[in-house]
């Protein structure tokens, strides 16, 4: 039986999402890649193997996911890791040396901040945090030997954007690698490589797997030497993804385009409805007419994404009352799932920032992050509105 081939880059995204893993099981013809739950692999002789030797180095199920992700990104096969933070750690340890500097966006996931400030500084790595939406400030930060420019766009949790084409050009001029964490939009709604990224990073835990069922990360590049280095470091650290998580993520990829379109459509509808509510001070969402970077959003994104950031007028007390009054929305630290999730960044995902930093970066005590799920948007809005009424009632009573 002839194996199925990985579809060419000219195939539509939805086609590549379903068939991008290529060969599944030529022995049986199974359409779904099998879960190869084996630690080790019998070798034909010394120096003669069938492509895999030990699952800390590679695994057939993980390799299928890596081919699929590479097909979606138009890059070399991905390197999949045990979590998004494992991907970031693998990247930094593969590319940084003592005395080198990372220029990082000032608004990024709190775990990235923790890693840079509380772990890598002990190894002599300098981290500089800068507003990457400010071109001149970014240019100044890159001067003097920056090794990596690390970006999130949209940024977690305020959804502030960076002009990725301009930022990647600035990084290239400074001799730095431009790394884009594209977790929020995925290749379905933002082509980071086309915008100049050298490395694209994902927490596959989120939209790529899409079902609140796994932890995982992925690193992608078009540079064969860099990929070889990343592979060596992943094998040395033991940060490879497990086969069952890889299999679940492969399954999630098949519906990625459909899911993300629904997430984004519902998010836009909710953002518009919340923007006029008296208990809401501000709504951050890239597709709103009021969003200060709307033109940039429409230039480099295919949608506003599935995340809405809402700042409540009543601050921390209002946020606490709001999240506790919700019924359909779960208070949790994830996003990109079928279930709608609400997160309080100041006390949860972004607690690694000081209170002064959060205030400066608009990660206020009244800010809540909404990961809009796949439920009926009318039901989601009704739940948000009843929770906002509870906030208003509590404020009147006080």
Distance from C-alpha of 23 to C-alpha of 1, rounded to nearest angstrom: 11
Instruction: Tell me if residue 207 is catalytic.
Output: no
Distance from C-alpha of 152 to C-alpha of 166, rounded to nearest angstrom: 14
**Residue 280 and residue 274 in contact, taking contact as beta carbons nearer than 8 Å:** yes
Q: Are strands 217-221 and 199-203 parallel, antiparallel or unpaired?
A: antiparallel
Instruction: Tell me if residue 181 is catalytic.
Output: yes
DSSP 121: G
First-residue to last-residue Cα distance in the chain: 73
Q: Are strands 330-331 and 307-312 parallel, antiparallel or unpaired?
A: unpaired
Write out the two tokens for 324: 């506790």
Instruction: Tell me if residue 302 is catalytic.
Output: no
In the set 181, 198, 231, 365, the catalytic residue is 181
Instruction: Tell me if residue 109 is catalytic.
Output: yes
Write out the two tokens for 59: 């695994």
In the set 4, 41, 56, 223, the catalytic residue is 56
In the set 16, 101, 106, 109, the catalytic residue is 109
What's the burial of 126, exposed, middle or buried (CB within 10 Å: 0-12/13-18/19+)? middle
The residues that bridge with 343 in the sheet, in sequence order, are: 369
Write out the two tokens for 108: 């990024």
In whole angstroms, how far apart are CA 358 and each of 118, 272, 349?
A: 18, 25, 12
**Residue 126 and residue 120 in contact, taking contact as beta carbons nearer than 8 Å:** no
Q: What is the DSSP string of 377-390?
A: HHHHHHHHHHHHHH
Distance from C-alpha of 369 to C-alpha of 249, rounded to nearest angstrom: 24
Known catalytic residues are 56, 109, 181, 206
């Amino acid at each position: 039986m002839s194996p199925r081939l990985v579809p060419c880059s000219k195939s539509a995204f939805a086609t590549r999402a379903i068939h991008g893993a290529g060969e599944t099981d030529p022995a049986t013809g199974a359409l779904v890649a099998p879960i190869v739950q084996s630690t080790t692999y019998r070798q034909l002789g010394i120096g003669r193997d069938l492509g895999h030797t030990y699952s800390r180095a590679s695994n057939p199920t993980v390799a299928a996911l890596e081919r699929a992700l590479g097909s979606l990104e138009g890059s070399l096969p991905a390197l999949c890791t045990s979590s998004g933070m494992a991907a970031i750690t693998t990247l930094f340890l593969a590319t940084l040396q003592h005395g080198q500097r990372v220029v990082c966006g000032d608004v990024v996931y709190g775990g990235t901040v923790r890693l840079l400030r509380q772990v890598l500084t002990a190894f002599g790595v300098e981290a500089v945090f800068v507003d990457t939406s400010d071109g001149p400030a970014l240019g100044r930060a890159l001067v003097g030997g920056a090794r990596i420019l690390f970006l999130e766009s949209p940024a977690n949790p305020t959804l502030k954007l960076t002009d990725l084409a301009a930022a990647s050009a600035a990084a290239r001029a400074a001799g730095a690698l431009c790394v884009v964490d594209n977790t929020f939009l995925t290749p379905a709604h933002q082509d980071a490589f086309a915008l100049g990224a050298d490395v694209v990073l994902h927490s596959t835990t989120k939209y790529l797997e899409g079902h609140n069922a796994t932890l995982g990360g992925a690193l992608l590049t078009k540079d064969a030497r860099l990929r070889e280095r990343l592979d060596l470091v992943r094998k040395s650290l033991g940060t490879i993804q497990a086969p069952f998580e890889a299999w679940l993520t492969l399954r999630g990829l098949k519906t990625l385009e459909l899911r993300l379109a629904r997430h984004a459509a519902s998010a836009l509808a909710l953002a518009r409805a919340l923007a006029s509510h008296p208990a809401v001070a501000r709504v951050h969402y890239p597709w709103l007419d009021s969003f200060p970077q709307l033109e940039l959003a429409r230039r480099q994104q295919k949608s506003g994404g599935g995340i809405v950031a809402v700042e409540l007028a009543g601050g921390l007390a209002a946020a606490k009352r709001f999240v506790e009054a919700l019924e359909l929305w779960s208070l949790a630290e994830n996003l990109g799932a079928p279930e709608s999730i609400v997160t309080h960044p100041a006390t949860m995902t972004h607690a690694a920032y000081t209170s002064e930093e959060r205030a400066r970066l608009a990660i206020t005590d009244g800010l809540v992050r909404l990961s809009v799920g796949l439920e009926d948007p009318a039901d989601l809005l009704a739940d948000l509105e009843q929770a906002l009424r509870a906030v208003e009632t509590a404020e009147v009573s006080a």
